[in-house]
Structure 1
């Protein structure tokens, strides 16, 4: 990569005071070795620990280190969008500061994208994480694969690189409910994957717990699939057929076999079951309507409180 081409690193941070100095040290060392013009854009998503102050101290010594402070916790998807929006590089790398996807892989991403690709995903050779987190991650990706129709690479890492044209197309997607991997796949263009060696997390614990993973998975399902609505229709048809068949059987039995008097408990139980099913599917529709309402307000995706070196 020639000296006049800038590389932007987009790094969302949230309570990362234990790892941020080491991350900056390794990233700057790697980029200095590569001898390229770069910027590292940190996007703080409402941290209340010492993360912001540590980044500002580093930014005083190196004006290639930049900081966006969001006014409150918007969520990682919005934070990444803010970083891409403010980046200036011809190539952009999105990565986390936990050092699980090591900075030494930056050169491999650059080599791959210079082959003419618009987007290069990182795929982990082996996930270095606890058994519990690996189990939860497997559930997360299984849900995505089965219910969204997104053909995401297996073992997908956070770290990836894309060019300016791809970034501009990404910024055209204005939806409030953002699933970045889904948007990346929807953009399409010329994509590739490379394998990367994952490290153990340098310090601290992941903020992306199972609850957040599953919330993101359901966001992906509702944003990129009509499957819940289709299942509701199919289930409704199934219940209608079962109900029709049951009425037919009761009629035949009463007319030709047994003269019985139906009891009110069975009717009452059936009514409660029917009400529960109706409320479930009304709630399902309400989720979609709520998302439509949220999109219709067209609020800004993020709110900036302060900036450093920008």
Structure 2
């Protein structure tokens, strides 16, 4: 009888979307490599380039020539971060998957703490920043972004959420069952449920460059989340419509009583035109809300692929997700 073979060590996949990160990527690989070498785990990198035209791809490919653990998935054009993250998860093979950005604001030295927390029996561990290392304007924009989400979606996303998080293969497989085109990663993560925890981490200054996730993109993402995970805009339209109907009825009754009691008054053209314009504007606004929902339904019914892959270095392309 042959001796029992030792069980293979778990595989940790680092899922890293990149977009114009030529100033950070070499340092990111160096720092994460030093940390990963100290862990009792096998590891792989899954970089997903979202249409960069600088030296980001060239730098990753140069490292991949001497390190087979580095895989690069190049998307054929800029799909947006939500699709890039999805592509990374689809291509990752790990038993554990750790998603982080390459800017090193969430430091690689926290990776062992995430692994330890996950191995307590959780399916997902969110990183929570003790303090956001950003300027006052960025902090204000983030506050508006998360406040908008909390107010209109009811997702109960943890406060101070970092990009860095770790999850199990079971959780990743559940995530890949969500095929929607209009993607909000945090919302999908919360919707999956399973057993989750949080881990406080120390954030540091961005290593180099500037964030590509500006206020406009944040608010677009917030509106995506609202329309994907909440019916509150539609309910607000119904409530406001009911309020206007009641107010108009009271107004008409008031006019009728005024006429009955022979009160002399004459409405002018400006007030009449103003009321018509206001009413038309309100109608168009709420019809627009309904149109947004219908448009999103239209996009979903096309069932187009979530991402288009141009090339994969040190690996093969994952099945297309619809």
TM-score (norm 1): 0.98
Match of 2:54 among 43, 49, 52: 49
In structure 1, list runs of 5 or more residues that go unmatched. Answer: none
- Aligned pairs for 1:27-176 (under 5 A) are 27-176=32-181
* Distance of 2:189 and 2:293 partners within structure 1: 22
* Distance of 1:260 and 1:41 partners within structure 2: 75
TM-superposed deviation, 1:261? 3.9
8 Å contact kept, 1:3–1:35: no
* Distance of 2:212 and 2:128 partners within structure 1: 21
TM-superposed deviation, 1:257? 4.2
* Distance of 1:278 and 1:298 partners within structure 2: 31
Residue equivalent to 1:233:
238
8 Å contact kept, 2:184–2:225: yes
Residue equivalent to 2:206:
201
Are 1:17 and 2:22 an aligned pair? yes
TM-superposed deviation, 1:274? 1.1
* Distance of 1:184 and 1:257 partners within structure 2: 65
TM-superposed deviation, 1:260? 3.3
Residue equivalent to 1:287:
292
8 Å contact kept, 1:95–1:159: yes
Match of 1:303 among 300, 308, 311: 308
Are 1:191 and 2:196 an aligned pair? yes
In structure 2, list runs of 5 or more residues that go unmatched. Answer: 1-6, 316-322
Encode CA deviations 1:240-260: one digit per residue, 9 max, x unaligned. Answer: 111111111111112204133
8 Å contact kept, 2:184–2:221: yes
TM-superposed deviation, 1:3? 5.2
TM-superposed deviation, 1:130? 1.0
Indicate the SS of the match to 1:300: coil
Residue equivalent to 2:265:
260
Paired residues in the alignment total 309
8 Å contact kept, 1:140–1:213: yes
* Distance of 2:271 and 2:143 partners within structure 1: 42
TM-superposed deviation, 1:137? 0.5
8 Å contact kept, 2:9–2:40: no
8 Å contact kept, 1:5–1:89: yes
8 Å contact kept, 1:128–1:199: yes
TM-superposed deviation, 1:235? 0.5
* Distance of 2:35 and 2:265 partners within structure 1: 84
Name the Cα RMSD after superposition. Answer: 1.0
